[in-house]
Amino acid sequence: MTVDAVPKLAQCAAAKAIAEWGRPAADITHLVFSTYSACQAPTADLRLAALLGLRPMVSRTMLSLHGCYGGGRALSLAKELAENNRGARVLVACSEMTLVCFGAPDGGNIVGHALFGDGAGAVVVGAGPFLDGEQGPIFEMVSATQTTIPRTEHALGMRVSGGGIDFHLAIQVPTLVGQSVEPCLLDAFHGIIVDDDDAPPPCSGNGNGNGRWNDLFWAVHPGGRPILDNIDKVLMLEPEKLAASRHVLREYGNMSGATIVFVLDELRRGRSPLPEWGALLAFGPGITIEAMVLRCPR
């Protein structure tokens, strides 16, 4: 059932993204598809390409079972593809369905059943030159890093079994993520090369981010309420900074890799203008943390 439904759900999100982008689907040059919920070959990206009418030469990449950092990884990969292939337009699609995890509740699965939801998100990524009719950029991905927290591979995981996918969420996950985010963010911000006048807040002043995290906007994967609470505490964020993440978690649940696209969408639809600089965080099995510096083009 999910093999059929996951690409169709992705199609709904991708068709909206392409319509907003303003160019025909045939202008998409690359496709990056992330999911944990459709395991088969040929992979779900091929089915999605057919459903959308992408051209046969579209260059496809499937990210499978990256879980909740899949959306961050897909965006980061799209950035690399767009920056290294002149004129490329990369469609990122993330589509997740909890049906594949359905089973009798036990100690591990029941937490996931409480937390996870279905959803799909899609984004078109490019690095210029701009094409006629194309919508201008909403977020610029300035710098991206991936970090694995050592010795945490048993804390968070998914395993394909005869009955679907079993997942395991250790109770320590919120603490482990909270302890690790600040070094990952500093790493991402230190990778930026801009004029001093243009520098994002954590790169100016003492350069360690202290007290400057509130000058940013925040797109954080809402892995669960305790995860957001720990990030708030560690970075000393003002209460409204994670409002977009909390809203998405409350309304839709944790849709694994697709969730970060919902958070970005929520941010861009917000009533007040965003600060120029922002940070994106997504985490999943590994424990892997994707950190990204974002910028709103002025």
Ligand X SMILES: CC(C)(COP(=O)(O)OP(=O)(O)OC[C@H]1O[C@@H](n2cnc3c(N)ncnc32)[C@H](O)[C@@H]1OP(=O)(O)O)[C@@H](O)C(=O)NCCC(=O)NCCSC(=O)CC(=O)O
Kindly list the catalytic residues.
68
Q: How far is the CB of 270 from ligand X (least distance, A)?
A: 23
Q: How far is the CB of 111 from ligand X (least distance, A)?
A: 4
Phi, psi (degrees; rounded to nearest 5) at 59: -95, 115
Q: How far is the CB of 38 from ligand X (least distance, A)?
A: 16
User: Of 51 and 62, which has the nearer Cβ to ligand X?
Assistant: 62
User: Of 202 and 223, which has the nearer Cβ to ligand X?
Assistant: 223
User: Of 110 and 194, which has the nearer Cβ to ligand X?
Assistant: 110
The first and second tokens of residue 127, run together, are 């690095």
Q: How far is the CB of 169 from ligand X (least distance, A)?
A: 4
Task: Return the closest-CA partner of residue 68 out of 112, 32, 103, 16.
Answer: 112
| End-to-end Cα separation, the chain, in angstroms | 44
> Up-side HSE of residue 11: CA atoms within 13 Å toward CB?
15
C-beta of residue 11 within 8 angstroms of C-beta of residue 40: no
Residues within the interface to ligand X (CB under 6 A): 67-68, 111, 114-115, 156, 169, 171, 173-174, 223-227, 254, 256, 283-285
DSSP H or E segment with residue 38:
none
User: Of 114 and 194, which has the nearer Cβ to ligand X?
Assistant: 114
Q: How far is the C-alpha of 86 from the C-alpha of 81, rounded, in Å?
A: 9
